[in-house]
Structure 1
Amino acid sequence: MFRKNKLGEMILAVTLILCITVTGCSTGGKTSTSNKEIKTSYNPGPEPKTLTPQMSNTIPEMIIEMALFEGLTRLDMNNVPQPAIAEKIDVSADALKYTFHLRDSKFSNGDPLTAEDFKFSWMYAMDPVNAAEYAYQIADYIKGGAAYNAKTGKAEDVGIKVIDPKILEVTLENPTPYFLALTAFPTYFPVDRKVVEANQDWNLKTETFVSNGPFKMISWAHNDKIVVVKNDNYWDAKSVKITELTFNLIEDTKAALTAYEAGQVDGVDSVPADDIQRLLKSGDLKVAPQLGTYFYAFNVTKKPFDMPEVRQALTLAIDRKKIIDTVAQTNEKPAFALTPNGINDADPRKQFRDVGGDYFTEDLAKAKQLLSEAGFPDGKGFPEIKILFNSNPNNEKIATIIQDMWSKNLGIQAALRQEEGKVYIESLHKHDYDVARVWWNGDYLDPMTFLDIFKTGGGNNVTGWANQQYDTLISNAKENTDPQARMQQLHDAEKILMTEMPVMPIYYPNLVYTSKVYVKDVIHSPLGMVDFKTATVEK
């Protein structure tokens, strides 16, 4: 498997932190046969804006991509990256060079999957012409990648080398303990170079959609459902039991739950707040740890949100416990910092969040003082805030509660602005909003997954905030091989973020979903992913 080196223990320590919830683990009762049709369905959320792995950045998209594609590694049920398309991985003694030996595998159309396809896919993600929001997820780690993405370097200088069709050599900018976990992330998934170069719209139609994962697409009724079936060209097809998997694309969580309770869908990824207690009592609702933070983003490019005092005042003037008790309702923790629990510090016996502690407390008197110092005593003269959120009754409930708190506590009026998923994402990235709801799930088990998104100009930095000292700390932490010093740099960076407050942390969500009891062995990751590779149905 992985060749041991002096950083081997650190690599394993980073990837062994969180367990993964497995829906209805099979007890070995009923089993399937290769000739038996086994069908199930799941509602991950709204219509994806894209299913090109290099261009996607939302959990619903990535849940679907997890079924259709596979990277060099795949996370197992203990959240540890295991060889997938790569059957062997060699790591140099200095942990800078990774050599991936690819197994014999094919795309769903029968084309052989080669090292060249991986290089093409990763370069596509980093190509500044494509403006991939997750470009940094590759570019910041691979030697020469950041320069190429910033148009200050050449493609030929990027540290991705095809040794032969079965060997991919990757040189990193700095040792990265979680790099193997990154290679299991959708941005690193391969696409078929031959198909993409022949048809730039390959991903828009079922008949031209090609993938390499456990399943292949057979139909896509936009804004309705995507149907995938077992991919017989998948290298590990023998482990895939589901013969047909339907992804319903119902954005309205109430409608999705209605479909679930009517037996039209076997699982949903989110439920309305009004139904949580009832579903908990019935046993339909599953609750597990999640590595995520629910927060509001401030558009700092727009007055008066360019003033730290305003952002701080709004942040200190809400009651997080009321929001949790009214909407979330599954013992979530209030967030007084960005990075959630579930990630170890340099000392693996301690959590990063516990070491960093809280960076602020709710304080109405201080909030009023800050607002007055900003020139808006008792909210006088403050423009109406429009709170942007994607269509979801829970998001609307939270926005309504915060709207009321800001009015009563600060004299600031707010209006609600609800948009469907794709339009909402566009508004965020165009900075077309005042204050917006954001839910960020970690992509890997390191504080960097929450903190590097706020680097100046970052693809997922929707706030417009920039701070040179913060950028330097993040860059230095990516270069630092001393675990203690590196974690301190990340703590220092988070302190700057939470002092200037381009974001308002609200709470740390739990993983909450429904699943029929007869659906077994679906892996629900704390990272938000749902893996159906080894799932089955036992009725």
Structure 2
Amino acid sequence: MKKNVFAAAFAMLLLGGSLAGYAEVGQAAEPKAKVLRMNLSFHLLTVDPGIAEDTTSATISRAIFEGLTRLDKDGKIHAAAAESYTVSADGKTYTFKIRPAKWSNGDPVTAHDFEYAWKRALSPKTASGYAYQLYYIKGAEAYNKGTGTASDVGVKAVDAKTLVVELTNPTPFFTELTAFHTYYPLNKKVVEADKEWASNPKTIVGNGPFQIETWKPKQQLVLTKNQNYWDKQHVKLDKIEFSMIDDGYIELEMFRNGDLDWAGAPFSDVPMDFELASESPALFHTHPIAGTYFYRFNTEQAPFHNAKIRKAFAYALDRQALVEAMTANNLPATGFVPPTMAVSSGGYFTDNDTEAAKKLLQEGMKEAGIAKLPPITITYNTGIAHKVIAEEIRDQWKKKLGVDVKLENKEWRAFLEDVHQGKYQISRMGWLGDFNDPFNFLEMFKDKNGGNNDTGWEHPKYKELLNQSALEQDPEKRKALLAQAEQILMDEMPIMPIYYYAQSWLQNEKVDGVILDGLGMLDFKYIEIKP
């Protein structure tokens, strides 16, 4: 087919226009490089772990940086940049010993690199969307909100090899947090020498398994093995080559033609090739993860300043029909916290309840003094799945509520900026857990001005329940507090849950050693290409 030829040719152009691996006549052939070929349709925005917010940026950051801990092959958290750590009897003080290691430029990795990076992420000047992930540390929230100082933050490099961290309260999942990208170290000398350090491969210095060799935005990304990485003997890949194609059909054809070793999640949404999956089931993979796909309502704009109107739109949705329209393995969501960490045994509202939706819409419009709904717009970022979902929801709302809905598609960076600035009515979003605890989902909407809230919604009782849960040591009592909080979130409906994630992708049978955790994050460290 012509489309196949085009896909193969396009891939050749992206990767330099030539095939490697042939030796000249009379010369001994060099060992073939072990290269993993993937595609990034969700474009890489940054590799600065202090400001990274999306899955692509976080995953690439994980490849070139390493935190104090890391999720290992056994699915458990292990010491990584830290050689060891101890915890005080009250669970509030952690002492990490930093292992002998080097940055990719040869500089030693020290405890000072962690203290600098964490305080930089907390600095109001950095404007990190994930700064709140550091709030478990004593004094961190006050510093980030401008009511405290950096010296008040409970992280201190006692010497080059010793990092002491003081927490506000015992935090059972703290070592999971230290594997998260906001907790990665930074080379202060490199960062402060050039404010654009994170956009130039020559100035991107990491302490992880790989380093960036080439980065041409919207064209190509190439990672190479970091020869200064402390555990390089366990890194089997020599290179990871990413093409950057927005078209999921082209990506699929490239996989079929052998030009890619992987197609689909977590870096793109491709139409699943069920013929290929049935012919070679070993190529098709599905993995349920701790994530929820949802729509945000802008609660500071009419008509969605009214909770009943928000609930009307949410109740009218037939989520099962939507999931079936996507031909995916996702589960319809009638709550925000995913089943992997659920605090309630069932959903919080009835799915596909058209009569209740119509009644709520009438009551809400009366309360808001609205005789006719204003034009409604769903904003989503470029992606086949997002488009399919938006079109199905638009059609359902027209049929059930008689509402005309406009669809607005934007490139990811512009979409994210507009959402942060409140320039939307309804916007799509997905949330993948940073650690496997319901608090990580519910805390997003704790504060109106929180880094990832973006709805304009805040509720005093909701905040109180989350604060209580942070102090509660009894697991069942803590779970009950979180369930009450989620009930308020669903009663107020600043967000509309749509489905719980399950990631699907196609993978070459020669690719082995893949670690894709319950949060949907891919780790390249142990991947290898078998003969």
TM-score of the superposed pair, with normalisation by structure 2 = 0.90
CA 141–35 in structure 1, closer or farther in 2 if over 3 Å, else same: farther
Deviation at 1:102, TM superposition (A): 0.5
Q: Distance in 1 between matches of 2:315 and 2:179?
A: 38
CA 109–40 in structure 1, closer or farther in 2 if over 3 Å, else same: same
Q: What amino acid does structure 1 have at the position aligned with 2:68?
A: L
Which residue, out of 190, 193, 211, partners 1:195?
A: 190
More RCO (CA 8 Å, sep 6+): 1
1:463 aligns with 2:462: no
Counterpart of 2:13?
Answer: none
CA 489–279 in structure 1, closer or farther in 2 if over 3 Å, else same: farther
Check conservation: 2:66, 2:207, Cα contact below 8 A.
yes
Counterpart of 1:397?
Answer: 388
Kindly provide the CA deviation profile for residues 432-463 of structure 1, in whole angstroms up to 9, marking residues without a partner as x: 11111111111111001111011111101121
1:372 aligns with 2:367: no
Counterpart of 1:182?
Answer: 177
Counterpart of 2:139?
Answer: 144
Check conservation: 2:344, 2:483, Cα contact below 8 A.
no
Q: Structure 2 unaligned runs (5+)? A: 1-29
Pairing 1:389-428 to 2, within 5 Å after superposition = 389-428=380-419
Q: Distance in 2 between matches of 1:482 and 1:428?
A: 37
Deviation at 1:395, TM superposition (A): 0.9
Kindly provide the CA deviation profile for residues 78-105 of structure 1, in whole angstroms up to 9, marking residues without a partner as x: 4321000001110011110000001001
Check conservation: 1:106, 1:212, Cα contact below 8 A.
yes
Q: What amino acid does structure 1 have at the position aligned with 2:295?
A: Y
Counterpart of 2:312?
Answer: 313
Counterpart of 1:16?
Answer: none
Deviation at 1:364, TM superposition (A): 0.7
Kindly provide the CA deviation profile for residues 58-92 of structure 1, in whole angstroms up to 9, marking residues without a partner as x: 11111211111110000023432100000111001
Check conservation: 1:115, 1:166, Cα contact below 8 A.
yes
Check conservation: 2:318, 2:351, Cα contact below 8 A.
no
Q: What amino acid does structure 1 have at the position aligned with 2:478?
A: R
Kindly provide the CA deviation profile for residues 216-273 of structure 1, in whole angstroms up to 9, marking residues without a partner as x: 1111011112111110100000000101111333333233223222322211234657
1:334 aligns with 2:324: no
Q: Structure 1 unaligned runs (5+)? A: 1-33, 344-350
Deviates more, 1:333-342 or 1:260-269: 260-269
Q: Distance in 2 between matches of 1:444 and 1:81?
A: 11
- 1:82 aligns to what SS in structure 2? strand
Deviation at 1:376, TM superposition (A): 6.7
- 2:70 aligns to what SS in structure 1? strand
Q: Distance in 2 between matches of 1:123 and 1:133?
A: 14
Check conservation: 1:240, 1:535, Cα contact below 8 A.
yes
Counterpart of 1:294?
Answer: 293
1:162 aligns with 2:153: no
Which residue, out of 39, 42, 46, partners 2:42?
A: 46
Kindly provide the CA deviation profile for residues 173-215 of structure 1, in whole angstroms up to 9, marking residues without a partner as x: 1111110000001111111111111111111111111111000
Kindly provide the CA deviation profile for residues 277-316 of structure 1, in whole angstroms up to 9, marking residues without a partner as x: 3343243321111111111110111111110011000000
Counterpart of 1:277?
Answer: 274
1:535 aligns with 2:531: no
Check conservation: 1:328, 1:509, Cα contact below 8 A.
no
Q: Distance in 2 between matches of 1:51 and 1:372?
A: 48
Counterpart of 1:519?
Answer: 511
Q: What amino acid does structure 1 have at the position aligned with 2:243?
A: N
Counterpart of 1:109?
Answer: 105
Counterpart of 2:21?
Answer: none
Q: Distance in 2 between matches of 1:334 and 1:172?
A: 37
Q: Distance in 2 between matches of 1:159 and 1:363?
A: 50
Counterpart of 2:237?
Answer: 242
CA 78–414 in structure 1, closer or farther in 2 if over 3 Å, else same: farther
Q: Distance in 1 between matches of 2:31 and 2:217?
A: 30
Q: Distance in 1 between matches of 2:78 and 2:151?
A: 29
Which residue, out of 215, 222, 228, partners 1:227?
A: 222
- 2:299 aligns to what SS in structure 1? coil
Deviation at 1:359, TM superposition (A): 3.8
Kindly provide the CA deviation profile for residues 377-424 of structure 1, in whole angstroms up to 9, marking residues without a partner as x: 9x9611121111111111111111110111111111101111111111
Counterpart of 2:61?
Answer: 65
1:96 aligns with 2:92: yes
Kindly provide the CA deviation profile for residues 142-164 of structure 1, in whole angstroms up to 9, marking residues without a partner as x: 00001111111111111001111
Q: Distance in 2 between matches of 1:279 and 1:389?
A: 30
Deviates more, 1:244-253 or 1:501-510: 244-253
Q: Distance in 1 between matches of 2:518 and 2:276?
A: 21
Which residue, out of 200, 211, 218, partners 1:216?
A: 211
Counterpart of 2:424?
Answer: 433
Q: Distance in 1 between matches of 2:344 and 2:253?
A: 38
- 2:89 aligns to what SS in structure 1? coil
Q: What amino acid does structure 2 have at the position aligned with 1:307?
A: N
Deviation at 1:126, TM superposition (A): 0.6
Q: What amino acid does structure 2 have at the position aligned with 1:45?
A: S
Q: What amino acid does structure 1 have at the position aligned with 2:275?
A: R
Counterpart of 2:502?
Answer: 510
Counterpart of 2:491?
Answer: 499
TM-score of the superposed pair, with normalisation by structure 1 = 0.89
* Identity level (%): 39
CA 365–424 in structure 1, closer or farther in 2 if over 3 Å, else same: same
Q: Distance in 1 between matches of 2:95 and 2:70?
A: 17
Aligned residues: 495
Check conservation: 1:117, 1:190, Cα contact below 8 A.
yes
Check conservation: 1:388, 1:436, Cα contact below 8 A.
yes
Counterpart of 2:14?
Answer: none
1:482 aligns with 2:435: no
- 1:60 aligns to what SS in structure 2? helix
CA 141–251 in structure 1, closer or farther in 2 if over 3 Å, else same: farther
CA 59–73 in structure 1, closer or farther in 2 if over 3 Å, else same: same
Counterpart of 2:27?
Answer: none
Q: Distance in 1 between matches of 2:44 and 2:144?
A: 25
CA RMSD of aligned residues (A): 1.8
Check conservation: 1:64, 1:247, Cα contact below 8 A.
no
